[in-house]
């Protein structure tokens, strides 16, 4: 029985798009574009998150080994992104399809206004039958501004657009219960929402040309699945991999989606690094907030202390009495007013339920 996904994020990894020498694999890129075009003809919406800009840059210019590694990466990305998008544009044009470039940084997802502007752009592209090709803006993304890898970026885009599925194309068939190259290693076809740890069986080895590894893929995929989006990790080098995933005719690992979260909470789920301060809450407030099936806001009566300073609209972290993080939310007022109302009853919520995301929602 075919999977009925309508809005699909396709993340294409560096090792899928490159040859063994690190240069782009033109034949494979064309084959992937042909598959995406076929999905479009079926009426599906497809958003592509593509690595490969640095690899494309390597095919055009040579950089000095003596130069700074960050500067080399910026140079290769700046040159290569032009070639990468030109390649996609030419190949999609053969199918009478138009694609668009969307370059983003982590900061674009931290700022709510940037986030909404970006979301509106994606919606306009999809409404006009244009295929967004998304990549990190490596020219300005350095150190703390960088995504862990494009898997993280793909997860953020999937959450932002309420996608039905995220298809992560890697250079392995899926998640194995050990080193995929080891004798006897078995592919795990399904990972349930109740899975809590991957470190016992997933290798920490990173891909040759990418920044991330299978552990980061697992944690990101699990988080996205907990937000109600199905995630598949499959081998992008397999012939006709995309239609075969959708028709369930190829081996891959599927992360079963949990409940569907609101759009605001999907943003908050990935916004912890943007927190400006924190509040420590008492045991009673923790129980009230984390009780399943009960929508509860954080009231000042349950707050023990304020850590740092924040303004109305800032993201703040929620800590229990032992300083363990239990969630994040958007402050309804600043830290000065929060201090004035500390422990008081009959006060306006410091964090309204609609703008509160608890760790228990992805555990």
CB 284 within 8 Å of CB 290: no
> d(Cα 204, Cα 178) in Å, to the nearest integer?
10
Secondary structure E strands in the chain? 7-12, 45-50, 98-104, 130-136, 165-170, 190-191, 230-235, 253-255, 277-281, 303-307, 315-319, 325-330, 356-358
pLDDT value at position 116?
86
- Strand order from edge to edge, sheet including 277-281: 303-307, 277-281, 315-319, 325-330, 356-358
Q: What's the predicted TM-score (pTM) here?
A: 0.76
Backbone angles phi, psi at 8, to 5 degrees: -125, 130
Count other Cβ atoms within 10 Å, centred on residue 20.
8
> d(Cα 301, Cα 319) in Å, to the nearest integer?
15
| Residue 51 known to bind ligand | yes
Higher-scoring residue by pLDDT: 63, 39: 39
Over 50: is that where the pLDDT of 209 sits? no
pLDDT mean over 281-304: 89
* pLDDT tens digits, 26-36: 999 999 999 99
pLDDT value at position 208?
39
pLDDT value at position 211?
41
pLDDT mean over 31-55: 95
> d(Cα 223, Cα 231) in Å, to the nearest integer?
10
- φ/ψ region of 177 (left if φ > 0, alpha if ψ in -120 to 50, else beta) reads alpha
Fold equal for 7-266 and 275-362: no
Over 80: is that where the pLDDT of 321 sits? yes
Over 80: is that where the pLDDT of 144 sits? no
If we measure between CA atoms, which residue out of 155, 160, 125, 135 comes closest to residue 40?
125
pLDDT value at position 207?
44
What percent of the chain is modeled with pLDDT above 90?
A: 54
Domain formed by 7-266, architecture: 3-Layer(aba) Sandwich (3.40)
| Residue 359 known to bind ligand | no
pLDDT value at position 141?
64
| Residue 150 known to bind ligand | yes
> d(Cα 352, Cα 350) in Å, to the nearest integer?
7
pLDDT value at position 210?
42
Q: Rg of the chain over CA atoms, in angstroms? A: 22
Distance of CA 120 to the CA centre of its chain: 18
If we measure between CA atoms, which residue out of 72, 151, 152 comes closest to residue 110?
152
Distance of CA 318 to the CA centre of its chain: 23
User: Domain limits of the chain?
Assistant: 7-266, 275-362
* pLDDT tens digits, 83-133: 999 999 999 999 999 999 999 988 888 777 888 899 999 999 999 999 999
CB 231 within 8 Å of CB 250: no
| Residue 11 known to bind ligand | yes
pLDDT value at position 112?
74
pLDDT mean over 154-160: 92
The model's confidence at residue 196, banded by pLDDT at 50, 70 and 90, is: low
If we measure between CA atoms, which residue out of 119, 82, 89, 123 comes closest to residue 104?
119
What tokens does 203 get?
A: 């290798």
CB 295 within 8 Å of CB 361: no
Over 80: is that where the pLDDT of 330 sits? yes
Backbone angles phi, psi at 102, to 5 degrees: -130, 110
The model's confidence at residue 197, banded by pLDDT at 50, 70 and 90, is: low
Domain 275-362: which CATH number of 3.40.50.300, 2.40.30.60, 2.30.130.10, 3.40.50.150: 2.30.130.10
């Amino acid at each position: 029985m075919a999977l009925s996904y309508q809005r699909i994020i396709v993340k294409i990894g560096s090792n899928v798009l490159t040859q063994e020498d690190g240069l782009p694999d033109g034949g494979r890129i064309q084959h992937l574009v042909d598959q995406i075009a076929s999905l479009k003809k079926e009426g599906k919406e497809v958003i592509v998150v593509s690595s490969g800009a640095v690899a494309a840059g390597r095919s055009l210019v040579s950089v000095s080994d003596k130069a700074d590694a960050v500067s080399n990466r910026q140079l290769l990305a700046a040159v290569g992104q032009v070639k990468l998008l030109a390649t996609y544009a030419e190949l999609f044009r053969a199918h009478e399809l138009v694609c668009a470039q969307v370059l983003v940084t982590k900061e674009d997802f931290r700022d709510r206004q940037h986030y909404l502007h970006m979301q509106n752009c994606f919606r306009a592209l999809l409404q006009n039958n244009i295929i967004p090709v998304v990549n990190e803006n490596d020219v300005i993304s350095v150190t703390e501004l960088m995504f862990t890898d494009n898997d993280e970026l793909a997860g953020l885009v999937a959450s932002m657009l309420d996608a039905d599925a995220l298809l992560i194309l890697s250079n392995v068939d899926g998640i194995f219960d050990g080193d995929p190259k080891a004798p006897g290693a078995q592919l795990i076809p399904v990972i349930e929402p109740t899975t809590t740890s991957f470190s016992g069986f997933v290798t920490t080895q990173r891909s040759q040309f990418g920044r991330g590894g299978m552990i980061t893929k697992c944690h990101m995929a699990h988080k996205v699945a907990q937000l109600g989006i199905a995630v598949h990790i499959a081998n992008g080098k397999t012939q006709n991999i995309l239609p075969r995933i959708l028709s369930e005719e190829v081996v891959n690992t599927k992360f079963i989606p949990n409940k569907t979260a609101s759009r605001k909470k999907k943003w908050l789920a990935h916004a912890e690094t943007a927190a400006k301060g924190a509040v420590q809450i008492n045991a009673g407030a923790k129980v009230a907030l984390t009780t399943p099936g009960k929508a509860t806001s954080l009231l000042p009566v349950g707050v023990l202390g304020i850590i740092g300073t924040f303004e109305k609209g800032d993201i703040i972290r929620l800590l229990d009495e032992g300083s363990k993080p239990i969630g994040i939310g958007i402050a309804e007022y600043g830290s000065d007013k929060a201090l004035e109302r500390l422990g008081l009853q009959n006060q306006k919520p410091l964090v309204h339920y609609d703008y509160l995301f608890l760790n228990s929602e992805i555990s």
